[in-house]
Structure 1
Amino acid sequence: MITIYKHEIKLSLKSLLIWFACVGGMGFACILLYSSMKGDMAAMAESFASMGAFADAFGMSQLSIATLPGFYATEVGTIHGLGGAMFAAIMSTCMLSKEEDAHTSEFLFSMPLSRTKIVFSKWCAILTNIFAFNILCVLLYVVGFVVQSEDIPVKEFVLYHGMQIILQIEIAAICYAISAFMKKNKFGLGLGVVLLLYAYDLMARVIPDLSDYKLISPFSYANAADILSTGKVEVSALVLGVIILVGSIVLAFSRFIRRDLAT
């Protein structure tokens, strides 16, 4: 079991570093850009805040982008939230299906391990990558705050990134369940799940008829503007997210250990 876990970690290391460099790098660059744009931010903040539905969708009606926490929530929050979810989705969508797609399932399942242990090992590798990705990104963002000599709203910052980890695990669980049904790698399907849930969250923030149902999307409890402005989490959305997470994992295990695999 440890052998499979280490193998998956090794295979995903390059992808992890690339996604960290892209998402973390862009977030870090945005933080550094704040100082050069700070003088113009006050006027921009007033303009953005008066843009109605657009401001509501991206949280600019809750926080002022003239402050670094507000700028972080609207800019870095969007980059990290969407980028991290995509990373989790792409990694998880092919984690099980790649064995059939690459015709390696016969070798894998000839090992003296049950399918349950194999699926568990791969899931542990996914969790490790998600935690590593977030730790690396957060460290880089903290460096950005230090360079800018700005105070970090510690409670809200930790809460936001904690919710981001749960969001990414939920997305990963959904895509892991999808992977258990697939015989070919479907990267696009995983990305589609992320973009659909993200778009739904945006629409639910601007369309009154959808506002009561925005908790369906995991982005509702991990929204940077909501958390950094209130210091609170949408508990009902979080509970639903955890239920979906657990249900997806159970589905992935039950489906994969029972299906006939192509060799």
Structure 2
Amino acid sequence: MILLRHEWRSARTAMLVWAVSIGLLCFITISLFTSMENSAQSMAESLGSMGGLSASMGMDKMNIADFNGYYAVENALIFSVGSAMFAAYLGIISLAKEEEGHTAEFLYTLPYNRRIVWLAKYLSIICLLLAFNCLVIFFEIGAVKLAEVDLDFKAYWLYHIRAFLMQNEVAAFCLLLSAFYRKKQVGLALGLALLLYALDMLCRLIEDVAFLKYVTPYYYANAITVFSQEKLNSLYLLIAGCITVCSLAASYIILKRRDLSV
């Protein structure tokens, strides 16, 4: 509990900055819908004529003239990419920061074995992600109420559940990467989050690389799929679960066996 509290406090400020920043972006995006509602249909028609690119963005399934379509296409993109980057950031700094900050010698002299340390760090990531999601959702729902628009809350909550699973998967994989490095590789983690989004776009644009949908978590956490009520193949979630569990197990094994610099 002491280690968990320490990890929470050390990352609390960063979490608030990320949550408020992304929350405000979502708030502004939702608030803009009422001001552009009259021209939304013409915008939807213009974007719909972009061929494969519009299809990759879900414009062939949702109409941004409708608020649910607007949220799924515009706002969910901000949240998905932003939350994945934050999850990657949490994962990549978790283990490596002890060696980079030369605090490993002190930490591992405490009456805690490496299993307890690893567990505290992983649980802190989950707690920080939960707090982050709650804060951003607060901004989003506040904007929805102020704008007085109709939102399909069933689809909304389902999307956020899938987004949280995606965040957990990205964080777990970056936690594994963190176990290999002696310094925080924040750029690598943020780049990975963006690369996974690029892979999602590619697998929707190019049929020859459609297999990438089994690799990128953005595919099953896509708001368009949820709000258009498209049935999701459970295989994607099974693969995501396997990647998450294997990444967590591997990160623990590596941390337990490696020699730490102090």
Shift of the alpha carbon at 1:86? 0.3
Shift of the alpha carbon at 1:130? 0.6
Is 1:63 aligned with 2:65?
no
Shift of the alpha carbon at 1:201? 0.5
Shift of the alpha carbon at 1:211? 2.0
Q: Give the letter aligned to residue 150 of structure 1.
A: V
Q: Give the letter aligned to residue 163 of structure 2.
A: Q
Query: What corresponds to 1:242 in structure 2?
Result: 241
CA contact (8 A) 1:221 1:235 kept: no
Ranges of 4+ aligned residues in structure 1 off by more than 2 Å: 231-234
Query: What corresponds to 1:6 in structure 2?
Result: 5
CA contact (8 A) 2:199 2:212 kept: no
Q: Give the letter aligned to residue 85 of structure 1.
A: A
Is 1:207 aligned with 2:206?
yes
Query: What corresponds to 2:117 in structure 1?
Result: 118
Report the aligned-residue RMSD.
Answer: 1.0
Matched ranges for 1:139-150 at <5 A: 139-150=138-149
**TM-score if structure 2 supplies the norm length?**
0.98
Cα distance between partner residues in 2 of 1:232 and 1:80: 22
Q: Which moved more, 1:229-238 or 1:126-135?
A: 229-238
Shift of the alpha carbon at 1:40? 0.5
Q: Give the letter aligned to residue 55 of structure 2.
A: D
Query: What corresponds to 2:151 in structure 1?
Result: 152
Query: What corresponds to 1:20 in structure 2?
Result: 19
Cα distance between partner residues in 2 of 1:240 and 1:79: 24
Query: What corresponds to 1:45 in structure 2?
Result: 44
Matched ranges for 1:71-220 at <5 A: 71-220=70-219
Shift of the alpha carbon at 1:152? 2.0
Cα distance between partner residues in 1 of 2:211 and 2:100: 41
Q: Which moved more, 1:42-51 or 1:212-221?
A: 212-221
Q: Which moved more, 1:63-72 or 1:50-59?
A: 50-59
Cα distance between partner residues in 1 of 2:249 and 2:157: 29
Q: Which moved more, 1:138-147 or 1:159-168?
A: 138-147
CA contact (8 A) 2:200 2:212 kept: no
**Deviations along 1:35-65, whole A, 9 cap, x unmatched?**
0010100000111112111111211111001
**Deviations along 1:183-212, whole A, 9 cap, x unmatched?**
011001111211111100100001011224
CA contact (8 A) 2:92 2:178 kept: yes
- For structure 1, list consecutive stretches of 5 or more residues without a partner in the other structure: none
SS of residue in 2 equivalent to 1:219: coil
Cα distance between partner residues in 1 of 2:64 and 2:150: 15
Cα distance between partner residues in 2 of 1:93 and 1:161: 23
**TM-score if structure 1 supplies the norm length?**
0.97
Cα distance between partner residues in 1 of 2:134 and 2:68: 19
Shift of the alpha carbon at 1:234? 3.6
Cα distance between partner residues in 2 of 1:41 and 1:150: 14
- For structure 2, list consecutive stretches of 5 or more residues without a partner in the other structure: none
**Deviations along 1:87-124, whole A, 9 cap, x unmatched?**
01011101100100010000000000110000000000
Shift of the alpha carbon at 1:230? 1.4
CA contact (8 A) 1:222 1:233 kept: no
Cα distance between partner residues in 2 of 1:74 and 1:132: 24
SS of residue in 1 equivalent to 2:61: coil
SS of residue in 2 equivalent to 1:218: coil
Q: How many residues align?
A: 262
Q: Which moved more, 1:232-241 or 1:33-42?
A: 232-241
CA contact (8 A) 1:173 1:249 kept: yes
SS of residue in 1 equivalent to 2:94: coil
CA contact (8 A) 1:163 1:222 kept: yes
